[in-house]
Structure 1
Amino acid sequence: MESVNNSAATISANINSIPVLNGTNFKEWKENVMIVLGCMDLDLALRTEKPAPLKDTSTLAEKREMERWERTNRMSLMIMKRAIPESFRGTMSDEADAKSFLAELKKCFAKNEKAETSTLLSTLVSMKYKGKGNIREYILEMSHIASKLSALKLILPEELLVYLVLISLPSQFNQFKVSYNCIKEKWSLNDLISHCVQEEERIKQDKTESAHLASTSKGSKKRKIKEAANSGPPR
């Protein structure tokens, strides 16, 4: 009895992990649906076409295959419909198979690829590193956006991405950028990350040393003034 309850709880947790579909999260929603159905071994109807209709001469294996397909199709439809807004369910055509149902959902909810490409490209070219934080994470974020563009069939050459990163760096990196432009070697993105991390550490070290020098100089000046005051006017 306990194992049955645990199984039911697991199924419920899996289904509840699927976010409700809205106008902006179709890709995330679909990924969650596919993962949940895959883990529950209910994705057969989404991966394969419906078997040929059964005949009087159909074998036992063919009958079992059809039975399994119909079950996974029915369960897939139930789970997907549960994860879309109730107000939207009535507007969907009564698709009999899960694959067609998912395709129709994509038409209704998938983002306009042109608009998404434009937004991502605009974000990428306008990014600026503020000089605070972690430059490795910053460059990886730019690379992640470039990967999203590649998925939308706008492939940016790695060399172009390297230049976009360099252009986005603040004035503290000017010497670094000049040095790169003077060498013949072209860096990969991984090379750029490695060199940028080293340069950021050097800049931080220089700032620390400058602050220490300024503090020492200021303290020395105060000490001289104090000594002069204590010694009094010359006799």
Structure 2
Amino acid sequence: MSLMIIKRGILEVFRGTISKEIKSAKDFLAEIEKCFAKRDKAKTSTLLQNLISMKYQGKGNIREYIMGMSNIASKLKALNLEMSNDLLIHLVLFSLAAQFSQFKITYNCQKEKWSLNELISFCVQKEERLKQENK
């Protein structure tokens, strides 16, 4: 396919941003692709800020809350910012409300590390006990 045919099929607003020195269709398409490059750094920064600033206030479903944090971590991984399971677990623990303080101490005193699924399970149990106590 010739460069002239490709140029005619692309909106003029994009054609104007490409150097006139480009001679091949391949180079022209590579320049067009740069115009549509994702802004991964901004997205990464926003997701990381959201993850770090999350706080569980003791209302709502704790399982959904932790899964939401895990979902953000997965999105960060897709943007080449992978965090360890241990770091995610600590971020979850830091974000829990004061009513989980004894729960946090228990985790920190144990030698074993929990998986995310174990953390969710234990948090759900703790949440259910708290609801029973508040009745």
Q: TM-score, normalised by structure 1?
A: 0.46
Runs in 1 of length 4+ with deviation above 6 angstroms?
none
Which AA in structure 2 matches 1:121?
A: L
Q: Does 1:180 align with 2:104?
A: no
Partner of 1:90: 12
Distance 2:32 2:64 in 1: 35
Q: Does 1:158 align with 2:85?
A: yes
Which AA in structure 1 matches 2:102?
A: Q
Cα 1:108/1:186, change in 2 over 3 Å: same
Unaligned runs of 5+ in 1: 1-49, 51-80, 82-87, 209-235
Q: 1:119 aligns with which of 46, 60, 72?
A: 46
1:120 shift after superposition: 1.2
- Where 1:91 maps in the other structure, the secondary structure is helix
Q: TM-score, normalised by structure 2?
A: 0.77
Identity %: 61
Partner of 2:95: 168
Q: Does 1:128 align with 2:50?
A: no
Distance 2:33 2:95 in 1: 36
Partner of 1:142: 69
Deviations 1:24-69 (A, max 9, x none): xxxxxxxxxxxxxxxxxxxxxxxxxx9xxxxxxxxxxxxxxxxxxx
Deviations 1:120-142 (A, max 9, x none): 11111111011111111111111
Based on CA coordinates, which of the two structures has the bigger radius of gyration?
A: 1
Higher RCO by CA contacts (8 Å cutoff, separation 6 or greater): 2
Partner of 2:117: 190
